[in-house]
Structure 1
Amino acid sequence: MTLVWYLQRLRAMSAGEVVHRVKERLGRWNEAGKLRRVAGQKWDARCLEVPRLPWRERVPPELGKQLAADAEKLISGEWQLFGWKSVAVGAPPCWHRDATLGVVVDPEIPARKLDHRHLEHDADARAIWEINRWNEVTRLAMHSALNGDEQAIRTAQIWLEDWCERNTPGRGINWTSPLEAALRLMNYCWFDAIVRGCCDGELVQRQDALTARIVPAHAWWIWKRRSFGSSANNHLIGELSALVMATARWPGLEKMTCAAKEVKELLEGEILRQFATDGGNLEQALHYHLFAWEMCWHAGLAAGGYKPEVMERLTRAAQYFVDAVEAPESWDFGDSDDAQVLPLTLRRMNAAAEFRGWFLNRAEGATLRFWLGEPPRGIKAAMRGQWLTYDESGQALWRDARWTVRADASALGLGSMASHGHLDALHVSLWYEQHALVIDPGTGAYYGNAALRAKLAAWEAHNGPVPVSGRATPRRMGAFLWADHHEKPGLAVHEEICVMSLESEGESVRRAVHATHDLVEICDEVGAEQSYVITWQLGPGWRVEQERPRGFVCRHAEAIPAGVTFNGDGIESCEVVECEASPHFRERVMTQALRVTFRGTMTTVWRKCG
């Protein structure tokens, strides 16, 4: 890391956090030895029925078939990273290999000496961690339980034994992130419950040995290395959720790690801190909203529920997700790495739609209802044809049968780092005839392609008006570190018009959005002192044709054409350009965009052609 990064990172910390981090760093020198002692320590491994597994008679018809198809590919070593990218990982997998590049990270390097942000040959830690979260072994166990294939569970146990042999606690990249350990532990809770539910003596005996090798070391390390201070975002929620689940399943862990009551209270505090009172997640990243919510929900089920205030906040968060997400072509705002907590959906690629269906008690959520039971009560689809605003979270939504409009007037992100935020203030996303028409361009990558990550998060990648000369702030100082945050934009609805405003670097920008069944009209006011640019980036599948100087037709193979016109005396140029976008983590595509330069006031009108 550069000196500038370290200086900015220090500025993001309080004095108490700096002291805590120094002590934590010093404690890592003998961490590997402590982990070995914990792993060899005798403990009360008796377990309770947490999580509670569903009855096999209620299996949705499609689920058994999908699990069998998934298991066949997994056992052959063909896995799908991030839900979309097919790679050969081996059977058992090579646990230290970035399967997208073929780069292997030395598993014997002490974890404290590894900088997972900068690996050799541009390997991406996130790609390596993807196969180490144990979603796939849980998926194999699910297949085994529902389809009667005990060999699949034996294969999964062999893989976990191999993982333990090749991932000495305290060594290698898989012992650098407490969140990654937490995701493994959450999956192992389910895996262990499914294996023991099969009532096979040989499997259970093998499972006892695995549990002794895995659970104490993971739980102890997560508790000791849990996130804190300026880093306490969704990572801390995940770490505490894993500990709630583990201590609920194995009460004997409390003597080795923490009291179940204490960790549950800490988690409840984080839920109230990280989810706004209107339900939005303050990280300002829609994917992480669901990711954090799901971890909290699993922990709540394991702990027998939360206090009323926390349950109300999680219910509002579920309602927010239902209102804010558009599926299946979601195009989330903020960061997204297509992570999943547990492999509970029918198809991972359709997770957003399935969770939305579960929240609304619709057929799309049948698989989640099978695994998780009933969703939070009272979640409803919003009234059509009206603006719905989340003032604290800074989002406004409008829907009818033809259009979905999502307007962003949010702060940059959570806390002093705003780790997962993008420069998307005043951005408007449009869906037309259920297809993503105007998009937020996505995330791209984290560590493996820093240039693409910076490009897709920039002001210029979003469609809020930006000076042609650009903006100097906020500044990205690292993969998850922003400096000089912008002020939270204004947001209000007046007479069915959503009005957003941004003050930045001495400039004032105002955007008004009016939506009806026939059209979406967006009026931008920027002043006449300098030229501004707006880039309307279209979703994949849309092609643009120019009809007249300021009028264009957007065509899609599966939708009625949409037209767009630009109106205003200060328009200087309109052009069709090609821009990069990332529909999924580590996926890059080129899409068309309309780039308009103007001064003063400009109105953009989107409507159905004809």
Structure 2
Amino acid sequence: MSRQPPVERLAWLVNRLRCMSVGEVGYRMQQAAVGRLERRGMLRWSAPAPESTARALPRAGTPPLQPGEADAILLDAERIKSGEVVLFAECRFNVGAQPEWNRDPASGVLGPSVFAGDIRITDRALVGDIKHVWELNRHLHLVRLAQAWRVSGDPAWLAVLRAQVSGWLEQCPPMTGPNWTSSLEMGIRLINWAMVWQLAGGADGQLFAGEGGQALRRAWLDSIYAHCQSIARHLSRHSSANNHLIGELAGLYVATTAWPCWDQSARWRGQAARELEHEALAQFSSDGVNREQAFSYHVFSSEFLFVAALAGQASGRPFSSQYWESLERALHFLRSVMDVGGHVPMVGDADDGIVWRLDPGHNDRAALLLSLGGALAGERAPQSATARWLLHAFPGQRPRSIQPAQAPGWSFPDGGYLLFGRDFGAASEIKGLLDCGPLGYLGIAAHGHADALSLTLSVAGEECLVDPGTYSYWQALKWRDYFRGTSAHNTVRVDGADQSVSGGRFMWVRKARSHVERMPQSPGQFDFRGTHNGYMRLADPARHIREVKFDAASRTLIVTDRVAAKGAHKVEQFWHFAPGLAVTRHASGVHVRGKAFGLQLEVVGEGAVIELVRGQEDPPLGWYSRSYEAKQPCDVVKITTVSNGAPLECRFTISFSQCLPEG
């Protein structure tokens, strides 16, 4: 079914096998055998009769609403009723009042209603863009319909909700079609179904009134059982055990807590709880960094861990203090890297995937996550609608182990990030982030970028030097390769090659390893020296050495790069500036003007050639992607030289507008 050329497919398979252990090969073979049995109908999917006496979650309530929140919920629900939904961060699609759930809302391609294991999800002619199909079928928008009923009491919203759920159950029977191809997507769907079920009144709510309502409840429970069964059979393991495994376990845990209806429920719940406890520690460093080295997935994984923890609190089965401490550290890191303007550097992959969408007026996931953490720590009444709705959908005691937020930090050596700057948290803040950690997590490092020793910078809450983001997973390969490649990051490329070697869209077969040679002592007197081995694979092995110095008193950042080798190599240094900044080239270097700051870049290096590039198509250079499937031009300063160890020095001097108060 795939349109991928056989040679490319074979190359991918060879690369994938190179990233697997013997144990993983055995697991993949076992999974293939399970798939064959499922295809032949030899494994049961139909649910046994639910136990009516099983204890579920406490009844949900309606949170206190702030002015305008009810109107915003109802307005968004009206749009959903007419067929308009928001997917990813802010893209609106018209899917119809009665959606075709297997149709890609972007391309219009209707996926086949065949055994899910036979569908090649990368075949755009067959399924369209599977990310769009999956995003719609996470059913975040169905929670909005339940919220609309909660705030209005109008049963018409339950009728709309009933029609959408019934349509999905009819079009997507177990293991049929593209919506049964991913255990992660099933997990997210279960989480949102649990919130819908809770907010709509539970098993005896008005949604299930009458003969038709009872039939819906039976059919829905059957599908919930099949979801749980499929997730339990097809958990992401070995080199795929990243955020996918956390999301699958969280969905399984929430489902078996919300619907403890079958003999298997307790076993599934126990397994999910044990493994979530393990993954909360394994996938986050001791200083709170998600080991995928992708800040969007840091938030994504944290969302899963939080919703599972809230379900545990609500059911009287709290997670351990170590689990909560891991979440505290994750929030501490997120709070530390966020600048005073609320920006988080776009390190690593991002697809705008989200576990829930409870506030129609806000989609800043990092800020919403921090607000939830603050509410659980009892710092103040939750200001975000997201925190209030979650705490009412999963009512329970506040965990005793979560602590109020610490002051932001600057040194995260285990996770691989260091901050430099001054006046953190003030209007005159200068905040830089240096990446000196690993490429990514586990054998394939799926969501890491070739960004060793890269850095970002914000000034006065305004992004300055940026990581350009991700753009798309499934557009033309040149765009996937560009946005995750070295030339899209503020670091050095040697001989036109990426630091690490890609083996596919979500796979690295050779990974650059960074090493810190001199650790700075403070963010304001920052003196760093580090290297990576990504170019030791060249015929003439080369070692990139970077020194980063920041002096708070003079507001000066100095970055010095050397490429040590026997012979000369082509060295390219890249500096990506945020869209909206005025970047001009002049005789002595480059000048950058923001809303409240100016920056002067001076370059010193023998034979250095300075170019200002913007929106170049072939090869791509000078692009920025704030959200998934969207890109825009940005200014990139490209500095090229041929060197065998001579230093290339860039001096950035920052000044402020007179109207800006300094720290």
Q: Which residue of 2 aligns with 1:563?
A: 599
Helix, strand or coil: the match of 1:377? Answer: coil
Q: Which residue of 2 aligns with 1:344?
A: 358
Q: Where do 5+ consecutive residues of structure 1 fail to align?
A: none
Helix, strand or coil: the match of 2:262? Answer: helix
Q: Aligned partners of 2:191, 2:319: CA distance in 1, in Å?
A: 18
* Deviation for aligned residue 1:538: 1.4
* Deviation for aligned residue 1:394: 0.4
Q: Aligned partners of 2:180, 2:187: CA distance in 1, in Å?
A: 11
Q: Aligned partners of 1:112, 1:269: CA distance in 2, in Å?
A: 29
Q: Where do 5+ consecutive residues of structure 2 fail to align?
A: 1-7, 392-397, 537-541, 615-621, 658-663
The answer as to whether partners of 2:292 and 2:448 remain within 8 angstroms in 1 is yes
The answer as to whether partners of 2:110 and 2:126 remain within 8 angstroms in 1 is no
Q: Which residue of 2 aligns with 1:333?
A: 347
The answer as to whether partners of 1:439 and 1:537 remain within 8 angstroms in 2 is yes
Q: Deviations over 1:131-156 (max 9, x none)?
A: 00010101211121123232222212
Match of 2:237 among 205, 228, 244: 228
The answer as to whether partners of 2:324 and 2:402 remain within 8 angstroms in 1 is no
Helix, strand or coil: the match of 2:173? Answer: coil
1:295-444 map, 5 Å: 295-304=304-313, 305-326=318-339, 328-360=342-374, 361=379, 365-373=383-391, 377-380=402-405, 382=407, 388-398=410-420, 399-401=424-426, 402=428, 403-444=430-471
Match of 1:292 among 278, 289, 301: 301
* Deviation for aligned residue 1:576: 1.4
1:545 aligns with 2:563: no
Q: Deviations over 1:57-87 (max 9, x none)?
A: x223343222112111111111222122122
1:240-251 map, 5 Å: 240-251=249-260
Q: Which residue of 2 aligns with 1:65?
A: 71
Q: Deviations over 1:573-598 (max 9, x none)?
A: 22211111211011111111222234
- Shift of the 117–328 alpha-carbon distance from structure 1 to 2, 3 Å rule, reads farther
The answer as to whether partners of 2:56 and 2:259 remain within 8 angstroms in 1 is no
1:521 aligns with 2:557: yes
The answer as to whether partners of 2:358 and 2:389 remain within 8 angstroms in 1 is yes
- Shift of the 521–472 alpha-carbon distance from structure 1 to 2, 3 Å rule, reads closer
Q: Deviations over 1:100-131 (max 9, x none)?
A: 2222222x232111111233179321111010
Q: Aligned partners of 1:524, 1:70: CA distance in 2, in Å?
A: 51
Match of 1:590 among 625, 633, 655: 633
- Shift of the 524–206 alpha-carbon distance from structure 1 to 2, 3 Å rule, reads farther
Q: Deviations over 1:300-349 (max 9, x none)?
A: 12123212222211211121121123454434210101111122345353
The answer as to whether partners of 2:450 and 2:498 remain within 8 angstroms in 1 is no
1:485 aligns with 2:511: yes
The answer as to whether partners of 2:501 and 2:509 remain within 8 angstroms in 1 is yes
The answer as to whether partners of 1:220 and 1:257 remain within 8 angstroms in 2 is no
Residue correspondences, number? 601
Q: Which residue of 1 aligns with 2:148?
A: 143
Task: Return 125-134 or 139-148, whichever deviates more.
Answer: 139-148
TM-score, length of structure 2 as denominator length: 0.85
Q: Which residue of 2 aligns with 1:5?
A: 12
- Shift of the 355–62 alpha-carbon distance from structure 1 to 2, 3 Å rule, reads farther
Helix, strand or coil: the match of 1:39? Answer: coil
1:23-38 map, 5 Å: 23-31=30-38, 37-38=44-45
Q: Which has the higher helix share?
A: 1
- Shift of the 455–102 alpha-carbon distance from structure 1 to 2, 3 Å rule, reads same
Q: Deviations over 1:532-557 (max 9, x none)?
A: 222211112122123x313333234x
1:152-167 map, 5 Å: 152-167=157-172
Q: Aligned partners of 1:66, 1:513: CA distance in 2, in Å?
A: 48
Q: Which residue of 2 aligns with 1:449?
A: 476
AA matched with 2:257: A
Q: Deviations over 1:243-297 (max 9, x none)?
A: 1111112223342683422321111111111111111110111111111111111
AA matched with 1:252: C
Q: Which residue of 2 aligns with 1:211?
A: 220
Q: Aligned partners of 1:85, 1:174: CA distance in 2, in Å?
A: 20
1:127 aligns with 2:154: no
The answer as to whether partners of 2:61 and 2:199 remain within 8 angstroms in 1 is no
- Shift of the 329–321 alpha-carbon distance from structure 1 to 2, 3 Å rule, reads closer
Q: Aligned partners of 2:300, 2:88: CA distance in 1, in Å?
A: 13
Q: Aligned partners of 2:77, 2:44: CA distance in 1, in Å?
A: 36
Helix, strand or coil: the match of 1:60? Answer: coil
The answer as to whether partners of 1:247 and 1:254 remain within 8 angstroms in 2 is no
The answer as to whether partners of 1:83 and 1:348 remain within 8 angstroms in 2 is no
* Deviation for aligned residue 1:51: 6.7
Q: Aligned partners of 2:548, 2:640: CA distance in 1, in Å?
A: 18
Match of 1:237 among 246, 250, 263: 246
Q: Aligned partners of 2:382, 2:257: CA distance in 1, in Å?
A: 30
The answer as to whether partners of 2:37 and 2:43 remain within 8 angstroms in 1 is no
- Shift of the 123–564 alpha-carbon distance from structure 1 to 2, 3 Å rule, reads farther
Q: Aligned partners of 1:463, 1:211: CA distance in 2, in Å?
A: 50
Q: Which residue of 2 aligns with 1:573?
A: 609
- Shift of the 606–109 alpha-carbon distance from structure 1 to 2, 3 Å rule, reads farther
Helix, strand or coil: the match of 1:489? Answer: strand
Q: Aligned partners of 2:489, 2:530: CA distance in 1, in Å?
A: 15
- Shift of the 32–344 alpha-carbon distance from structure 1 to 2, 3 Å rule, reads farther
Q: Deviations over 1:548-575 (max 9, x none)?
A: 313333234xx12422221424361222
Q: Aligned partners of 2:165, 2:419: CA distance in 1, in Å?
A: 45
Q: Deviations over 1:177-210 (max 9, x none)?
A: 1101111111111111111259426276365234
Q: Which residue of 2 aligns with 1:21?
A: 28
Helix, strand or coil: the match of 2:209? Answer: helix
Helix, strand or coil: the match of 1:493? Answer: coil
- Shift of the 59–551 alpha-carbon distance from structure 1 to 2, 3 Å rule, reads same
* Deviation for aligned residue 1:9: 1.1
- Shift of the 151–390 alpha-carbon distance from structure 1 to 2, 3 Å rule, reads same
Task: Return 177-186 or 73-82, whichever deviates more.
Answer: 73-82
Q: Which residue of 2 aligns with 1:110?
A: 115
The answer as to whether partners of 2:581 and 2:593 remain within 8 angstroms in 1 is yes
* Deviation for aligned residue 1:382: 3.5
AA matched with 1:390: F
Q: Aligned partners of 2:569, 2:485: CA distance in 1, in Å?
A: 20
The answer as to whether partners of 1:123 and 1:448 remain within 8 angstroms in 2 is no
Q: Aligned partners of 1:562, 1:424: CA distance in 2, in Å?
A: 26
Helix, strand or coil: the match of 1:514? Answer: strand
1:53 aligns with 2:60: yes
Q: Aligned partners of 2:372, 2:302: CA distance in 1, in Å?
A: 14
Q: Aligned partners of 1:48, 1:35: CA distance in 2, in Å?
A: 31
Q: Aligned partners of 1:388, 1:52: CA distance in 2, in Å?
A: 42
The answer as to whether partners of 1:35 and 1:217 remain within 8 angstroms in 2 is no
The answer as to whether partners of 1:138 and 1:187 remain within 8 angstroms in 2 is yes
